[in-house]
């Protein structure tokens, strides 16, 4: 990529270290014009290397005293009594979180149209989706309102908005970043990820927030290696896997063109291609729909009006019985997509259906994970497009869950296998909308992802000249 | 899928749907069932590694040893692959150090 140095955190920090940039000379943040911001807080942060860069949180990541609404009417007015571990780690490095951003309710959606505050627009084209579910987080970074944002990625919710908004989206290995303080959607898939302007910025943030957290029993104790800096690395000797089975899926012509161009850049950089076989990956979306719905039905059972958020108590003689209050609260509080997924979850777990749906999907997920791991015996990373299309028009799909889930076909396999993955801009389509290139790494292979992504970013022509929103005059 | 099942699911989840929402749910679940029907069937016995079939019975030990649950509790519905287990054991192994 080719951005002015002071427009990226890594570049600006380098200039500051060299004494060539004063923090006062950093480009100012811009107002939100996409309907993405739902809360602001100007409280100063601690000193540290991230202190000069205002940042945003997705509304399902807790910060003490902030509304953690998950963009749901059910949690309207709920304020978190504690701060998420990932946020605490970043704040210790100087991070200053100033914005909470809208999302698809409870992380369920791929377009950011299922937020109680209304749809969020894409800074590249206001009539189009920023992707979801971390669409608000992506919109504020792409629009220059924040330098970076934390999102959550369950089936692609960081990588898809990154692709649609011309950003880098970095999803870690499951367990690499603590989930303490992330409102659970599907616990075996949920991760906290980063949306940033470039690979080095995403690596900077990931480096600061990754690591074991005693407060999260599922966080991994493996040490976090130092991620490579912004300096270009050599491609020779690196092996890239091409998942032929997935690439046979339909994709838009502009996406295919950018993918082919990215392949040529990888070849020119000296990367070696090898084919990997992930035959079950093309069915990942169905597995994901079943498993994520099952876990969501369980996780969201806690929202019954007795502890979190609002409670509906209709004035009736003698008051409402608990069961009636629960039903009234959940029916009024959850939006249509969340209701749909909870009901799907109950369906796939119910007696008579469980074995053929839930248990089968769980066993298939197991086999998919083994297929994907086997691929990494031959390659360092696997490359594929992030999404089969670019940002689609708002209002096109909210009533078509099958089409909506189709956006996730390339992102859910890494989620199902718990693998790290990174989306970076790979160009624009014929309409000038960003296209994402996805790299998937082996377990705990975040450092390899950063190396390869940094190499490709330096070669792929995606620059300020293409009117990236945050660089517009 | 019939209306009694939709009513049962509503009762189970504490959600009340309008008639239009219930009809739509019926359609969505039928669609989900059709998609699921396209998934590979459960193999009898343990299936074969990598062939897309899935074990109907618990996996034999030699397969389990290739998988580690991280240091996570056994989440219903989830698994996590992070490295190789110690032979014959279930303790996670650090994939970098091998310890």
Q: Are A226 and A210 in contact (CB under 8 A)?
A: no
Residue A1: pLDDT band (50, 70, 90) is low
CB atoms within 10 A of CB A2: 13
Looking at the DSSP assignment, which residues form a beta bridge with residue A170?
A194, A422
pLDDT at A315: 59
pLDDT at B76 over 70: no
Residue B59: pLDDT band (50, 70, 90) is very low
Q: How far apart are CA A111 and CA A397, in angstroms?
A: 8
Closest-CA distance, A280 to chain B, in angstroms, reads 6
Query: Mind listing the pLDDT tens digit for each residue in A273-302?
Result: 999 999 999 999 999 999 999 999 999 999
**Rounded to 5, what percent of chain B is helix, strand, coil?**
35, 5, 60
Percent over 90 (pLDDT), chain A: 83
pLDDT at B94 over 70: no
- Partners of residue A361 in chain B, C-beta under 8 Å: 36, 39
Q: How far apart are CA A437 and CA B11, in angstroms?
A: 44
| Strand pairing class (A54-58; A148-153) | parallel
Q: Given CB atoms, is A402 within the 8 Å cutoff of chain B?
A: yes
Q: How far apart are CA B23 and CA B25, in angstroms?
A: 5
Q: Given CB atoms, is A326 within the 8 Å cutoff of chain B?
A: yes
Query: Chain B residue closest to A212 (CA)?
Result: B71
- Residue in B12, B36, B49 closest to A357 by CB: B36
Evaluate whether ipTM surpasses 0.85.
yes
What's the mean pLDDT when you consider all of chain A?
92
Our CA angle for A277, A190, B80, nearest 5°, is: 50
Mean pLDDT of A463-468: 60
User: B87 or A393: which carries more pLDDT confidence?
Assistant: A393
Query: Mind listing the pLDDT tens digit for each residue in A2-40?
Result: 666 788 999 999 999 999 999 999 999 999 999 999 999
Q: Given CB atoms, is A311 within the 8 Å cutoff of chain B?
A: no
Contact B9 A298 (CB under 8 A): no
Q: Are A57 and A87 in contact (CB under 8 A)?
A: yes
Contact B82 A418 (CB under 8 A): yes
What's the mean pLDDT when you consider all of chain B?
62
Query: Mind listing the pLDDT tens digit for each residue in A118-171?
Result: 999 999 999 999 999 999 999 999 999 999 999 999 999 999 999 999 999 999
Catalytically active residues of A, by annotation = 58, 133, 157
Query: Chain A residue closest to B71 (CA)?
Result: A218
State the DSSP code for A79: B
R_g (Cα) of chain B, nearest Å? 20
Contact A286 B73 (CB under 8 A): no
Query: Mind listing the pLDDT tens digit for each residue in A49-62?
Result: 999 999 999 999 99
Tell me the residues of chain A between 249 and 308 that have a Cβ less than 8 Å away from chain B.
Answer: 279-280, 283, 286-287, 289-291, 294-295, 297-298, 304
pLDDT at A218: 94
pLDDT at A112 over 90: yes
Q: How far apart are CA B57 and CA B49, in angstroms?
A: 14
């Amino acid at each position: 990529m080719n951005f002015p140095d002071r427009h990226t955190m890594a570049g600006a920090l380098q200039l500051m270290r060299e004494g060539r940039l004063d923090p006062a000379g950093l480009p100012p943040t811009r107002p939100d014009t996409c309907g993405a911001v739902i809360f602001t807080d100007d409280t100063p942060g601690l000193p540290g290397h991230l202190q000069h860069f205002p940042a945003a949180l997705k509304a399902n990541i807790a910060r003490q005293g902030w509304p953690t609404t998950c963009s749901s009417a059910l949690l309207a007015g709920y304020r978190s009594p504690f701060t998420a571990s990932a946020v605490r780690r970043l704040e210790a490095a100087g991070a200053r979180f100033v914005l909470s951003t809208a999302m698809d309710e409870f992380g369920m959606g791929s377009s950011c149209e299922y937020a109680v505050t209304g749809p969020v627009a894409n800074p590249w084209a206001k009539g189009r989706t920023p992707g979801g579910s971390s669409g608000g987080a992506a919109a504020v970074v792409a629009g220059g309102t924040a330098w970076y944002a934390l999102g959550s990625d369950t089936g692609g919710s960081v990588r898809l908005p990154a692709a649609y908004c011309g950003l880098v989206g970095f999803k870690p290995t499951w367990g690499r970043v603590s989930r303490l303080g992330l409102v659970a959607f599907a616990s075996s898939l949920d991760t906290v990820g980063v949306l940033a302007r470039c690979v080095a910025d995403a690596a900077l943030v990931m480096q600061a927030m990754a690591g074991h957290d005693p407060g999260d029993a599922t966080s991994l104790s493996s040490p976090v290696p130092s991620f490579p800096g912004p300096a270009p690395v050599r491609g020779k000797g690196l092996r890239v896997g091409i998942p032929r089975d997935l690439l046979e899926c339909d994709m838009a012509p502009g996406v295919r063109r950018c993918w082919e161009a990215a392949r040529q850049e990888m070849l020119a950089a000296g990367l070696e291609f090898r084919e990997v076989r992930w035959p079950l990956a093309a069915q990942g979306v169905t597995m994901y729909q079943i498993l994520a719905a099952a876990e969501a039905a369980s996780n969201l059972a806690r929202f019954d009006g007795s502890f979190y958020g609002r409670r509906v108590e209709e004035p009736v003689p003698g008051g409402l019985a608990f069961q009636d209050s629960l039903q009234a609260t959940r029916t009024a509080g959850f939006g249509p997509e969340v209701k749909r997924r909870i009901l799907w979850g109950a369906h796939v777990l119910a007696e008579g259906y469980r074995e053929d749906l839930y248990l089968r999907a769980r066993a298939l997920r197991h086999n998919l994970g083994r297929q994907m791991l086997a691929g990494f015996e031959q390659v360092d990373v696997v490359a594929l497009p992030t999404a089969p299309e670019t940002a689609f028009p708002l209002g096109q799909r909210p009533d078509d869950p099958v089409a909506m889930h189709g956006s996730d076909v390339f992102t859910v396999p890494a989620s199902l296998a718990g693998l790290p993955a990174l989306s970076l801009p790979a160009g624009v389509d014929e309409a000038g909308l960003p296209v994402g290139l996805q790299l998937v790494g082996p377990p705990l292979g975040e450092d390899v992802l950063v190396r390869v992504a940094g190499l490709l970013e330096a070669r792929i022509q995606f620059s300020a000249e293409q009117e990236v929103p945050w660089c517009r005059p | 899928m019939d209306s009694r099942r939709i009513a049962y699911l509503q009762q189970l989840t504490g959600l009340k749907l309008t008639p239009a929402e219930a009809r739509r749910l019926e359609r969505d679940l039928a669609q989900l069932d059709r998609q699921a029907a396209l998934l590979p069937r459960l193999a009898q016995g343990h299936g074969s590694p990598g062939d897309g079939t899935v074990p109907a019975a618990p996996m034999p030990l030699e397969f389990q040893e290739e998988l580690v649950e991280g240091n996570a509790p056994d989440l219903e519905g989830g698994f996590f692959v992070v490295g190789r287990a110690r032979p014959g054991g279930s303790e996670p192994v650090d994939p970098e150090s091998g310890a």
